Amino acid sequence: MSPTLSVRDLAVDYELSRAGLFRRRRMVTAVSGVSFDIAPGETLGLVGESGSGKTTVGRAILRRIPTSAGQIRFEGQDITDLAGEPLRRLRAQMQIVLQDPYTSLNPRMKVGDIVAEPLVVHGLAPSREAAREAVAALLARVGMPADAAGRYPHSFSGGQRQRIGIARALAMKPSLIVADEPVSALDVSVRAQVVNLMQDLQRDLGLSLLFIAHDLAVVRHISHRVAIMYAGRIVELAPRDAIYDRPIHPYTQALLSAVPVPSPTVQRSRRRIVHPGESVDIANPPSGCRFHPRCPLATERCRDDAPPLADRGAGHFAACWNSGA
Partner 1 sequence: MSALLKIEDLAVVFDTRAGTVEALRGVSLSLGRGETLGIVGESGSGKSVTAQAVMGLIDVPGRIAGGSISWDGQALVQDGAQQHPSGIWGKEVTMVFQSPMTSLNPLMTIGAQLEEVIRKHLGLGRAAARDHAAEMLAAVGISGARRRLDQYPHEFSGGMRQRVMIAMAIACEPKLLIADEPTTALDVTIQAQILELLAGLQERLGLSIILITHDLGIVAGLCHRVAVMYAGQIVETGSVDDIFDRPAHPYTQGLIRSTPRLDEPEDRLTAIEGTPPGLLHPPEGCAFRTRCPIARDDCRAPQALRPFGAGFVACTQPGVDAWGDGK
SS3 state at 315: coil
- Which of 35, 68, 93, 199 is close enough to bind partner 1 by CB under 8 A? 199
Residue 43's nearest CA partner among 200, 173, 193 is: 200
CA dist., res. 304 & res. 272, Å (int): 29
Instruction: Please list every residue from 276 through 295 that binds partner 1, using CB under 8 A.
Output: 276, 278-279
User: Applying CB under 8 A, which part among 15-23, 91-99, 116-124, 190-198 lies near partner 1?
Assistant: 190-198
Complex with partner 1: residue 264 or 313, whichever CB lies closer: 264
- Which of 129, 265, 271, 284 is close enough to bind partner 1 by CB under 8 A? 265
User: Are the C-beta atoms of residues 30 and 282 closer than 8 Å to each other?
Assistant: yes
Instruction: Please list every residue from 44 through 63 that binds partner 1, using CB under 8 A.
Output: 49-50
Q: Which residues of 51-69 are buried (b: 16+ CB within 10 A; e: fewer)?
A: bbbbbbbbbbbbbebebbe
User: Applying CB under 8 A, which part among 17-25, 58-66, 109-117, 269-277 lies near partner 1?
Assistant: 269-277
- Binding pattern for the stretch 167-186 against partner 1, x by CB under 8 A and - elsewhere: --------------------
- Which of 1, 83, 146, 188 is close enough to bind partner 1 by CB under 8 A? 188
CA dist., res. 323 & res. 325, Å (int): 5
Complex with partner 1: residue 13 or 100, whichever CB lies closer: 100
How many C-beta neighbours within 10 Å does residue 139 have? 21
Q: Are strands 317-318 and 310-311 parallel, antiparallel or unpaired?
A: antiparallel
Q: Which amino acid is at 20?
A: G
Residues 6+ positions from 5 with CB-CB distance below 8 Å: 37, 38, 61, 72, 73, 74, 176, 208, 210
Complex with partner 1: residue 104 or 257, whichever CB lies closer: 257
- Count, residues in the chain: 325
Residue 153 lies near partner 1 (rule: CB under 8 A): no
Instruction: Please list every residue from 121 through 140 that binds partner 1, using CB under 8 A.
Output: none
- Which of 147, 187, 304, 311 is close enough to bind partner 1 by CB under 8 A? 187
Residue 244 lies near partner 1 (rule: CB under 8 A): yes
Q: Minimum distance from CB of 235 to partner 1 (Å)? A: 13
Q: Minimum distance from CB of 86 to partner 1 (Å)? A: 39
Q: Minimum distance from CB of 134 to partner 1 (Å)? A: 26
Residues 6+ positions from 43 with CB-CB distance below 8 Å: 202, 208, 209, 210, 211, 222, 223, 224, 225
CA angle 270, 274, 276 (to 5 degrees): 175
Complex with partner 1: residue 49 or 75, whichever CB lies closer: 49
DSSP string, 31-87: EEEEEEEE-TT-EEEEE--TTSSHHHHHHHHTTSS--SEEEEEETTEE-TT--HHHH
Residue 160 lies near partner 1 (rule: CB under 8 A): yes
User: Are the C-beta atoms of residues 94 and 62 closer than 8 Å to each other?
Assistant: yes
Residue 195 lies near partner 1 (rule: CB under 8 A): yes
Compute and round to an integer the Cα radius of gyration of the chain.
21
Residue 297 lies near partner 1 (rule: CB under 8 A): no
Residue 155 lies near partner 1 (rule: CB under 8 A): no
Q: Minimum distance from CB of 127 to partner 1 (Å)? A: 35
Could you list the residues that contact partner 1 (CB under 8 A)? 49-50, 157, 159-160, 187-193, 195-196, 199, 214-218, 220-221, 241, 244, 254-267, 272, 274-276, 278-279
